[in-house]
């Protein structure tokens, strides 16, 4: 009996020792995995943008939009789900908006506009009968217009950032660094859409997505002509075996030319606007000011003459 007890105790100690060994092995693998994941993350905490009070307020307000998401998906004038999805991708999902939350947001703002218009009508504000109709429509259509403007602004910002990004990538690649490692080193130092898009590209390739599919995802998410030209050049260069550093260098030169042409085009468009403002606002205001001063001086001089004669 004593021998059986000793055998059970011995086996228990042996199994306990094996369990401690396996648990230690598990902790070691866990730490190694943490290090690997940390190295693969593109955006480090020190590069993250701080959330402002405005963004916190808007994020809290957007939570109320979830209650109206089902209604918003049924009332989808000028905002079909596939259109909203495309605009959200181009805008970079501002305030972590989803399709359902956006559909609810437009109905939420419509109701807010209706409530404000109703109060104005009760308090008998001027033009309240018109505003009680225009405010709900403005809340609904304004939400759609806001998302479209966000998407357009982000695509323009992406085009504007590309030349500097391509110059930096070209120098790094010519130094012998690989494409993935160059992106990991450079992307965190850029902000905005360049950081978001290429950061997501690296994360997709790290989890096993084929590079061609990752490139196609970049094309699907963005409509910037310059960005599309860059990605298509990378795809074509990879198929033909052209060095990536040469592709980035060539694209950097082309982007600089396009950027200069856009600046010249914007300056040419601004000239007629300045002329229009000068002709119809500045010049009449100056003429009225000069004429008023002349009339005031005339009356003041005549008044002095009349006082002398008297």
Contact 161, 198 (CB under 8 A): no
pLDDT of 39 reads: 55
Q: Per the structure block, which two tokens stand in for 292? A: 């008023």
Does the pLDDT of residue 23 top 60, yes or no?
A: yes
Q: How confident is the model over 234-262, as a mean pLDDT? A: 81
Alpha-carbon distance 1 to 9, whole Å?
A: 12
- Count the helices and strands in the chain (H runs, E runs): 12, 0
Q: Per the structure block, which two tokens stand in for 134? A: 């225009």
CA 192 from chain centre, in angstroms, equals 6
pLDDT of 9 reads: 65
Lowest mean pLDDT among 18-22, 26-30, 102-106, 206-210: 18-22
Query: Which are the contacts of 79, defined by CB distance < 8 A and separation ≥ 6?
Result: 72, 102, 103, 106, 144
pLDDT of 307 reads: 52
Does the pLDDT of residue 141 top 90, yes or no?
A: yes
pLDDT of 309 reads: 45
Lowest mean pLDDT among 89-93, 170-174, 178-182, 300-304: 300-304
- Under the banding of pLDDT at 50, 70 and 90, the label for residue 144 is very high
Contact 197, 158 (CB under 8 A): yes
Model confidence pLDDT, tens digit, residues 262-290: 777 777 777 777 777 777 787 788 888 88
Q: Per the structure block, which two tokens stand in for 289? A: 């000011």
Residues 208-236: b if buried by 16+ CB within 10 A, e if exposed = eeeeeebbebbeebbebebbebbbebbbe
Alpha-carbon distance 177 to 53, whole Å?
A: 40
Neighbours of 105 (CB within 10 A): 26
Residue with tokens 């225009």: 134
pTM assigned to the model: 0.69
Does the pLDDT of residue 12 top 80, yes or no?
A: no
């Amino acid at each position: 009996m004593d021998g059986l007890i000793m055998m059970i105790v011995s086996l228990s100690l042996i199994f306990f020792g094996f369990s401690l060994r396996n648990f230690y092995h598990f902790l070691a693998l866990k730490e190694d995995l943490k290090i690997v994941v940390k190295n693969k993350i593109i955006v480090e905490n020190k590069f993250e943008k701080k959330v402002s009070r405005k963004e916190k307020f808007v994020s809290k307000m957007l939570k109320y939009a979830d209650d109206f998401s089902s209604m918003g998906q049924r009332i989808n004038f000028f905002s079909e789900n596939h259109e909203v999805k495309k605009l959200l991708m181009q805008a970079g999902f501002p305030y972590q908006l989803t399709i359902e939350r956006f559909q609810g947001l437009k109905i939420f703002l419509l109701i807010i506009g209706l409530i404000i218009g109703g109060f104005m009508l009760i308090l008998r504000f001027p033009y309240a009968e018109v505003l009680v109709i225009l405010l709900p429509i403005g809340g609904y259509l304004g939400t759609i217009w806001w998302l479209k403007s966000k998407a357009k602004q982000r695509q323009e910002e992406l085009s504007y950032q590309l030349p500097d990004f391509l110059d930096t990538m070209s120098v790094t690649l010519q130094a012998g660094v690989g494409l993935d490692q160059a992106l990991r080193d450079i992307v965190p130092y850029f902000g905005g859409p360049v950081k978001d898009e290429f950061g997501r590209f690296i994360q997709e390739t790290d989890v096993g997505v084929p590079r061609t599919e990752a490139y196609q995802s970049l094309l699907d998410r963005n409509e910037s002509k310059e960005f599309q030209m860059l990605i298509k050049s990378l795809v074509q260069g990879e198929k033909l075996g052209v060095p990536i550093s040469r592709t980035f260098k060539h694209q950097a030169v082309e982007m600089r030319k396009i950027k200069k042409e856009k600046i010249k085009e914007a300056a040419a468009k601004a000239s007629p606007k300045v002329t229009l403002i000068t002709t119809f606002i500045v010049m009449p205001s100056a003429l009225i000011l000069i004429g008023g001063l002349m009339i005031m001086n005339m009356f003041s001089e005549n008044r002095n003459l009349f006082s002398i004669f008297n």
